[in-house]
Amino acid sequence: MTARILDGTATAQALLEETADRAAKITERLGRKPSLVTVLVGEDPASKTYVKMKANRAAKYGLESRRIELPDTSTTAEVVARVEELSADDTVDGILVQHPVPSQVDEPAVFEAIRADKDVDGVTMTSFAAMGLGRTGFQSCTPGGIIRLLDAYQLPLEGQHAVVVGRSPILGKPVGMLLLERNATVTYCHSRTRDLAEVVRTADLIVAAVGRPELIRGDWVKPGAVVVDAGYNPGNVGDVEYAAAAERASWITPVPGGVGPMTIATLLAQTVDAALTRL
């Protein structure tokens, strides 16, 4: 068996084109483009690259993208105040605070300064609760992108045993909640899980989201399982031993070209959703 590819690049492109169509219609009615503001604190080179990429993608698909840069000496109070200003600005539809922030800044406090109806990155407690309770709200972009990707290939989720390896508040935990909402049976694993390999071997769907290169070995994959690798490590290596896993899985995401493109496409789609509420 050789796994078929869950092509995040192609699926994201389709979502971006749909988003551009919606953005154009909203621009006509609203008198301005849907607006995404990114807050960048400090000088982290990778963060600067990500922010530039997001801005270019937003502009290409009909959104206005603004960047707010704050010095790496900023205090929590200063960053919170700036985010609160953006939350009160009627010309701003979505706010993204680029992770990570400098160590002296309380990142959760900054996230909570984002008004819930502008939390297009799905990082506030309100968004987390909405995902957990199955209510209307914004999804964390990587988990939301994963669900969109699985849906695009019409892969069944109901009744499937999903094993999520990782428990971060913006990836592992919310993707498990979204899968549970779709009637999957969800097991969370993490660094203290005993017999990790044995648990993973029971999975119909594996979501690897732990940030350790090739932690999930190919022979852990049950024949016919679906493998979603949300890890990205130096050298374009995911959290799954790709070649060996692809010999056993039915479907698998490549790294790169799997989950990553879906994350940005979901961010822009949710920004347009936010703009729609201003009409």
Q: For the chain (length 279 residues), average pLDDT per consecutive 10?
A: 95 98 97 98 93 95 97 98 98 97 97 98 98 96 98 98 97 98 97 96 98 97 98 95 98 97 98 95
- For 200-203, which contacts have Cβ atoms below 8 Å and span 24 or more sequence positions? 200/163, 200/165, 202/161, 202/163, 203/161, 203/162, 203/163
Task: Please give the domain boundaries of the chain with CATH numbers for all domains.
Answer: 33-115 (3.40.50.10860), 141-259 (3.40.50.720)
The stretches of the chain forming alpha helices (DSSP H) are: 8-30, 45-60, 76-88, 107-112, 125-133, 141-152, 172-181, 196-200, 242-246, 259-276
Start-to-end CA distance of the chain, whole Å, equals 50
Quote the pTM value.
Answer: 0.96
Q: Which residues are known to be catalytic?
A: 54, 98, 121
pLDDT for 175 equals 98
Q: Distance of alpha carbon 187 from its chain centroid, rounded?
A: 20
